[in-house]
Amino acid sequence: MSPTNYNELIDFISNSNRLKTIKEKVKLESTKSSQKDSSHDYFHLLRVALMSLRFSETSQSKTPVKLDLEVLIAAALMHDVINVPKNSPDRKKASTLCAAWAKPLLEELEFSKEQVKLICEAIEDHSFSRGATPRSFLGECLQDADRLESIGAIGLMRVFATGSLLQSDFFNPEDPWATNRELNDLKFMIDHFFNKLLKIPKLMNTEGGKAEAKIRADRMIRFLKDLGKEINHPLPKDKEIYEI
């Protein structure tokens, strides 16, 4: 039986020597960062693992495949082990750096050559900024699960947590919806909804990912509408639209 919540997943990891080692190594690596980033903490990794498990069981693969639970959870635990800041020129290299970090550890833990390749490819392909199409069903599940963290209620928290790290403003008070200016999500947090977040639903790979993305995107639209009412700048109708 696959884990379906935090407690079950934590127990599963604790009962696997390989996953327990990965967890400890990942946590140790995270202590090397000088800045706390709640958007990419250990609980983010667990949420991605749980959602990846869900998609692997509720979506159809292009090729018949049964994903090994250890393989899937290992990929989720290591997919963000090297956290490159959003405003870094090396941001697009982040997932490649994560895959390179994961490979020797997976080999040391005696995952098979095929499993190591599968996990590393999935980690490398998951990145939004890299813009890659996943090469495997594992990659599709991991990419969808990670992208869903950016939208919905958790997505809202992450926008403002990341924006605070970047020292961005909430929005442009004169033109909050970028009606007469270029979007700039490094300067204004709300711009990130239109630069990236509301584009995510149409990028989902799995059936489960597409269904969940619609639910979460609707929550974000409701938030933007409420914000527009509070600041007396109603959200324009053309900004309420997202594709799926």
Distance (Å, rounded) from C-alpha 95 to C-alpha 172? Answer: 32
- pLDDT, residue 90, reads 76
- pLDDT, residue 60, reads 67
pTM (two decimals): 0.93
Distance (Å, rounded) from C-alpha 135 to C-alpha 183? Answer: 32
Assign 185 to helix, strand or coil. coil
List CB contacts of 72: < 8 A, sequence separation 6 or more.
49, 52, 53, 56, 138, 141, 142
- pLDDT, residue 62, reads 60
Write the single-letter amino acid at 19.
L
- pLDDT, residue 65, reads 57
Q: Which domains does the chain have, with CATH numbers?
A: 6-130 (no CATH), 152-239 (1.10.3210.50)
> Mean pLDDT in each 10-residue stretch from start to end of the chain (244 residues)?
93 98 95 77 95 88 73 97 79 91 98 97 92 93 97 97 94 97 97 97 95 97 98 96 89
- pLDDT, residue 31, reads 85
- pLDDT, residue 128, reads 87
- pLDDT, residue 58, reads 81
Q: What sign results for the dihedral spanned by CA atoms 82, 114, 118, 138?
A: negative
Q: What is the dihedral of CA 170, 176, 179, 180, to 10 degrees?
A: -80
The values of phi and psi at residue 188, to 5°, are -125, 125
The values of phi and psi at residue 64, to 5°, are -60, 120
Distance (Å, rounded) from C-alpha 49 to C-alpha 87? Answer: 26
Beta bridge partners of 12: none
The values of phi and psi at residue 169, to 5°, are -85, 155
Distance (Å, rounded) from C-alpha 90 to C-alpha 40? Answer: 17
Distance (Å, rounded) from C-alpha 162 to C-alpha 86? Answer: 8
Residue of 148, 147, 93, 85 whose CA lies nearest to 124: 93
- pLDDT, residue 34, reads 63
Structure tokens at 173: 């008070």
* 49-52 long-range contacts, CB within 8 A, separation 24+: 49/3, 49/9, 49/73, 49/76, 49/77, 49/145, 50/3, 50/4, 50/5, 50/6, 50/9, 50/145, 51/144, 51/145, 51/148, 51/212, 52/76, 52/141, 52/142, 52/144, 52/145
